Structures are given as C-alpha cells and as structure tokens.
Amino acid sequence: MSSQSSSGISDRAQPPALLNVAVFAAGVATFVNMYCTQSILPELSAAFHVTPARTGLTVTAPLLATALVAPLVGAISDRFGRKKLIFRAALLLVIPSTLLAFAQNFDTLVLLRFVQGLMLPFIFTVTVAYIADETEGSATVRLAGTYMAGTISGGFSGRMISGLATAAFGWRVALLLVAVMTLAMALAIALLMRPERRFKAVYGLRRALQSFPQHLANKRLLATYAAGFGMLFSLVAVFTFVNFRLAAPPYGLGPAALGAVFVVYLGGVVMSPLAARLAGRFGRRRVMAAACPAMLAGLAVTLASPLWVIIAGLLLTCSAIFVQQTVATGFIGPAAGQAKSTAVGLYVTFYYIGGSCGGIAPAELWRDYGWPGCVALVALMQLIVLAVVSRWWVLKTER
C-alpha cells in the first residue's frame, strides 16, 4: 500500500515526459486552427472577391462559436471525462479543417470556421481541467506552463504556416497543411496522454447553470469579464487590420512576410510567466496599470512609417496584452470564490465575444480612416479596460 502511495505521489509530482508532449500537442491543436486565416486575409479577399473587412469574418466565426460553447464545456467534461473528450474533439476538428481547403465560396469558408470553433473549447478547456485533476503542486505549474507554451506555439505556427505555404503553394494547400498538423496533434494526444486516474463523473449541468446568476452579480467578476472582452478585442483588431496595412503600398508584404510578422506573438512566451511573478509581488491592479499604458505606447509606435518600427510596436503591443491576459486569468478564481469552473467558462465566453467584435468593429473605421482609425478604437478599448479594473479589482482581503 505504502509503495503504491509513494508511486502515486511521484507520478503526480513529476509528470512523465510523454504527458508533457501530449499536453503541448493539445495546446497546438487548438490554436493552430483558431487563427490560421489571419495572416492570409488579403489572399482570401482576392480569391473570393470580398472586401478586406469581410474577410475578418474568417477570424470572427471560430471565436464566436467558442464563446457560445465555452460555458457548458466544463459541466459536460465533468460528466463524460477528460482524455476521450479531448482526443475526440481534436480528431473531429480535422474534418472541418480539411474541408476548408476545398471551400468553393466565402460563406462556406466562414461556416466551416464556425464549426471549428464549436470543437475548440472541448480541447483547451478540458485540457486545463485534466491538468488540475492529474497533477499537484509544482507539477501542475510545470504542466500548465507546457500547455501555455503549446497554445502560444500553435497560435504562432498557424499564422506562420499559413503565410509561408500560401506564398509557395496557395492558400488551399496552406489550410490543408494545418489540417494535417491537427491530425498529427490528435494522434499524439491519443498515444501519449495517459487516461485520467482521478476523475469522478459529476452530473453537474444543472448546478453549473444555477451558478451563472451568482457570477453575473459579482462586480469583481464582471470587471474581469469586461477586461477579457477588451483584451481579445484589442489583439484581434490589431492583428487583423495590420495585415491590410502591411499588404498595401508602400510595404506590399506577401503572405509569407505577413506570416513572419507574427513572430512578435512569441513575446508571450517570455511575458506570461513574468506577468505572474510581477502580479504576485506588486499586485494585479498595479501590473495592469502598467500593461495598459505599455499597450497604448505600442499602438502609438505602429503609427510610424518604417517597417521595423511598426514591428517593434506590434511586439510591445502583443507583449502587453499577454501580461493583461495572464493577470486577468489569475484573478478569476479569487474573485469567484466558489463554482470556479463556471466562472472560468463565462470568462472564456466574454473573452471570445470580444475577439469576435474585434474582427468586425474596426471595419468601418479602417475604410474611412485607415490604420489610425483602428488604433484610436483599440486605444479607447484599452482605456475602458484600465478604468474598469482600477475601479473593481479589489478583493475583500485587500481592503
């Protein structure tokens, strides 16, 4: 008995290397699909003869679908388990990801992107629950860090692969490569993620629904939801419409170069763990009070003309948003107090609704005022985030 207990503690204290690979693959599978069209929007605009602003729907559709499904995923997972749900969602994701390459009209493309979004929460949300169940202490932190690295790598590689492959072979081959990568990640999950050992089925859908009014009456949580909305709104708006600026004269960047611009996304690898440490030392509101002005400074820098200066501004902008995201996510649990899984689900909903709006709302400003109009809208959103957080991000223990 004691030997089994010691073995169990050892397993939970130090996740096996193969489990790290499986969790990394789950992060990649989700986000390689989420933003895979963002670096090729000008190509899609030309291919389907639609306005640049309308191509933003290919970014918005999966975000909106994710927002609709997210609040219920935790309860479904609590009923049906972890690994099987993660693997089956990743495998089913291959179908719409493949069909994207064969879409004959723009409406079909958007519909397939929406279907992708319906499956994504069953990968990333359930993976987070799996990590919490199967590890403890420092092992949880390490495995969560591995998963975060997978999400950032997936978001970057989805944009990069799409851009490079589109330049070499066309956008259809590019999206087909994303589907192949998704299949590889699904197989890695199937083979390397060990079945859950500590999972106990809970019939919690009704209880989950009953917790929603409680969360929506919590001002601290509402402030966090508003901040999440503003963060992804800002990120999607910036990295959707900057593509059209850089694809136009005098820059004239092609899909490969536009994909390479997204290397700034990797700033999150450095900033996410740093933000957590800074929040622990100085407090969440202070870190957010520094991140929002940094974001505004990055936006201001992108108004310059030299390409390298614009990219530097995008790096600062992206890094500041990752700081905001890390701090906001860490505040959900303390602010909720109880029913934390549904509190997280609602945060994800507001977060992705914000991203959906970010792909659409700046369209008229882009048409009438170009990039400065988009920057002004995102700057306004950031000021709102800062005001909301400064007013309501206070725990009772901090008063």
Distance CA 281, CA 123 (A): 32
Domains and CATH numbers, the chain: 16-192 (1.20.1250.20), 207-394 (1.20.1250.20)
Q: What is the pLDDT of residue 71?
A: 79
Most confident of 33-37, 262-266, 381-385: 381-385
- Answer whether residue 345 shows pLDDT above 90: no
239/134: higher pLDDT: 239
Cβ–Cβ under 8 Å, residues 343 and 334:
no
Q: For the residues 100-119, what does the mean pLDDT come to?
A: 96
Q: What is the mean pLDDT of the chain?
A: 84
Q: Smallest Cα–Cα separation from 134: which of 196, 71, 202, 193? A: 196
The three-class DSSP label of residue 326 is: helix
- Answer whether residue 148 shows pLDDT above 90: no
Q: Smallest Cα–Cα separation from 105: which of 50, 178, 175, 176? A: 50
Q: For the residues 33-60, what does the mean pLDDT come to?
A: 89
- Predicted confidence band of residue 113 (pLDDT cuts 50, 70, 90): very high
209: CB partners within 8 A, 6+ apart: 75
Q: For residue range 191-213, what is the model confidence (pLDDT) as tens digits?
A: 998 887 766 655 556 666 677 78
Q: For residue range 284-299, what is the model confidence (pLDDT) as tens digits?
A: 888 888 999 999 999 9
- Answer whether residue 379 shows pLDDT above 90: yes
What is the percent of the chain where pLDDT is above 70? 86
Distance CA 378, CA 231 (A): 9
- Answer whether residue 4 shows pLDDT above 80: no
Cβ–Cβ under 8 Å, residues 327 and 338:
no
- Predicted confidence band of residue 47 (pLDDT cuts 50, 70, 90): very high
Q: Give the 3-state DSSP-derived string for 36-78, with helices as H, strands as E and coil as C.
A: CCHHHHHHHHHHHCCCHHHHCHHHHHHHHHHHHHHHHHHHHHH
End-to-end CA distance of the chain: 47
Q: What is the pLDDT of residue 3?
A: 40
pTM over 0.85: no
Q: What is the CA radius of gyration of the chain?
A: 21
- Answer whether residue 7 shows pLDDT above 80: no
Place of tokens 């917790």: 211
Q: What is the pLDDT of residue 137?
A: 62
SS3 content of the chain, % helix, strand, coil (to 5): 85, 0, 15
For 81-98, letters b (16+ CB in 10 Å) and e give bbbebbbbbbbbbbebbb
Longest pairwise C-alpha distance within the chain: 72
Here the tokens at position 249 are 């004269």
Q: Cα 31 to chain center, whole Å?
A: 7
- Predicted confidence band of residue 326 (pLDDT cuts 50, 70, 90): confident
CA distances from 267 to 263, 292, 316, 317, 326 (A): 8, 16, 8, 10, 13
Q: What is the pLDDT of residue 9?
A: 39
Here the tokens at position 399 are 């008063």
Distance CA 85, CA 205 (A): 16
Q: What is the pLDDT of residue 203?
A: 55
Q: Where are the alpha helices (DSSP H) in 303-362?
A: 307-336, 340-358
- Predicted confidence band of residue 50 (pLDDT cuts 50, 70, 90): very high
- Answer whether residue 165 shows pLDDT above 90: yes
Q: What is the pLDDT of residue 12?
A: 46
Q: What is the pLDDT of residue 393?
A: 84
Q: Smallest Cα–Cα separation from 75: which of 195, 214, 209? A: 209
Q: For residue range 235-255, what is the model confidence (pLDDT) as tens digits?
A: 999 998 998 899 889 999 988
- Answer whether residue 338 shows pLDDT above 70: no
Q: For residue range 51-103, what is the model confidence (pLDDT) as tens digits?
A: 877 888 998 899 899 988 887 876 777 667 778 889 999 999 999 999 999 99
